[in-house]
Structure 1
Amino acid sequence: MNIKQATTINEVIQLLDEIIEESISEQSAVGLFTMLYREVTVKIKEGIQIGSFQNGERMEKLDVIFANRYLKAYYQYKAKEKASECWEFSFQQAETFWPIVVQHLLLGINAHVNLDLGIASAEVSTVENIKDLESDFNQINIILSNLVEHVEKCLIKIWPTLTIILKLTGKIDNFFIDFSMKTARDGAWKFANEFVTTPEEQREDCTQKRDKRIAEIARLVSNPGYFVSAVFKFIRLFERGDVAQKIMNLKIIEEKKPECVVI
């Protein structure tokens, strides 16, 4: 299979649209994260156009390198080639029944932020100037965090009784705090600063070691303990609509804020 890569942010959006359409056609849960990521990319593009970032040209370059890591992993998996371990696990989970929508989103975010974002940030920087990127780096994470929080709030509105139970036990707070965007952001930024100082000949080994650690987090997202897993399974049994409908519902959520639809 041809591994498609983008050269501009418009091409990123176009290729993400292709994956979303393919996911809808194949009833693949891969499209859930891809839809969320598409919205992040659109908002980054809008931010570049209105001057929200310190360096728009650098931001587009970062966005393309960042996206191409996801695109490469996706096409490798589709071709039954070895993708990075954390992406491989995320794609495998997309083929199973039990993960709920939020878990699919977190699995994608885990791989893309905790592994890919740090590498992409280092690749558009040098040891001398990576500090200049921090503000724009944080802006990407704010965009992503706001979108994820909105989806989580919609889930809470859909399942108010279960939310009360989870909050009383402290379990839902622990689950999302353990995988908070702040934790992911801080870890990715630390990794970016480490990776930018790594000699070229050692970067592949560094990437593989980081990949294994992020794959362990993915397994925790997939299996967050007996109680939370049992509740998620209960939610999953009563989720409405097929995968294609859930993908489109995520699009509706972003287009019609602050309304929520059943996912």
Structure 2
Amino acid sequence: MFDYDAQIRAALQVPLSSIADVVTLMRTIDTLTTDGDGLKWFNGLYLTVTDAVGTRAAGGGFADAGFMAALDVEFARLYFSALADFLDGSALPGCWQVLFAARADRRLARIQCALAGMNAHINHDLAFAIVSTCQARDIAPDDGSVQHGDFTALNATLDSLIETAKTGLDVRLLGDALPPLGVVENTIAGWSMSAARQNAWSNAEILWSIRGLPLLSDRFAHGLDGVASVIGKALLVPVP
């Protein structure tokens, strides 16, 4: 789709073991992508969010910093994996396909692409990342746990970043001004980072409780992708 996609695919081969590794890869993608690529604006917003998590972890802002760092890396891997699958022509979750297929649609606003990516990543991926991280650390994703407290404590910071992005990215992909108040503002106004993250934790608790039931787990996962795909399509309705 873009002549630098092979370079992105090559960059995605680098192994990740820390938040610093995640940030480095996101910065590489940011450098490679052009303004007319919707991927740039999701990746850029996600980079800002990851920087905030890394800063808090380094500053002793978490009771279980190890868990939050591990979750951050596991979470990012799901985005990078979906992007690699798309670039390879492999199967990937529908919610990610919705965004990546619209990367070059210049009728879209930057904020639409950014939030469609956040939707796919949080409403679909985050629950799986929480479960995988908990399994690796032999703990359960209990509401009210130390880990849940750390997870929730980020909400105010992340909501602030999203609100800033809603203003700063409210232009078309190439930077042209949008029409007066209309479909974009109405669509993005109700998107809440904290609500999506809390819902993801609840979904992780459900996935944890049914992890020994493969058929039910698959159906639940399919449902998460279906809901996130519908939301993604709504967020990516082209601007008139």
TM-score (norm 2): 0.79
Aligned to 2:40: 31
- Return the match for 1:95 from 86, 93, 104: 104
Task: Tell me, yes or no, if structure 1 residue 144 matches structure 2 residue 158.
Answer: yes
Quote the Cα distance in structure 1 between the aligned partners of 2:170 and 2:112: 14
Aligned to 2:180: 162
Aligned to 2:63: 54
Q: Go from structure 1 to structure 2 and tell me whether the alpha carbon gap of 1:148 and 1:136 turns closer, same or farther (over 3 Å shift).
A: same
Q: Go from structure 1 to structure 2 and tell me whether the alpha carbon gap of 1:215 and 1:50 turns closer, same or farther (over 3 Å shift).
A: same
- List gaps (5 residues or longer) in structure 1: 224-228, 234-263
Aligned to 1:106: 115
Mean CA deviation greater in 191-200 or 132-141: 132-141
2:180 alignment partner AA: L
CA contact (8 A) 1:123 1:196 kept: no
Quote the Cα distance in structure 1 between the aligned partners of 2:168 and 2:31: 24
1:185-200 alignment, distance < 5 Å? 185-200=197-212
Q: CA deviation at 1:161?
A: 8.8
Aligned length: 219
- Return the match for 1:183 from 195, 199, 206: 195
- Return the match for 1:44 from 53, 71, 79: 53
Task: Tell me, yes or no, if structure 1 residue 12 matches structure 2 residue 22.
Answer: yes
Q: CA deviation at 1:190?
A: 1.7
Aligned-residue sequence identity (percent) comes to 22
CA contact (8 A) 1:29 1:94 kept: yes
Mean CA deviation greater in 128-137 or 144-153: 128-137
Task: Tell me, yes or no, if structure 1 residue 127 matches structure 2 residue 136.
Answer: no
TM-score (norm 1): 0.73
1:64-105 superposed Cα distances (whole Å, 9 cap, x missing partner):
000000010011111111111101111111121211011011
Mean CA deviation greater in 147-156 or 32-41: 147-156
Query: Over the residues paired in the alignment, what is the CA RMSD in angstroms?
Result: 2.8
Q: Go from structure 1 to structure 2 and tell me whether the alpha carbon gap of 1:55 and 1:155 turns closer, same or farther (over 3 Å shift).
A: same
Q: Go from structure 1 to structure 2 and tell me whether the alpha carbon gap of 1:98 and 1:63 turns closer, same or farther (over 3 Å shift).
A: same
1:218-262 superposed Cα distances (whole Å, 9 cap, x missing partner):
111123xxxxx6xx33xxxxxxxxxxxxxxxxxxxxxxxxxxxxx
CA contact (8 A) 2:95 2:226 kept: yes
- Bigger proportion of residues as helix: 1
CA contact (8 A) 1:85 1:211 kept: yes
Quote the Cα distance in structure 2 between the aligned partners of 1:63 and 1:190: 18
Following TM superposition, the consecutive aligned residue runs of length 4 or more in structure 1 with deviations greater than 4 angstroms are 155-161, 171-174
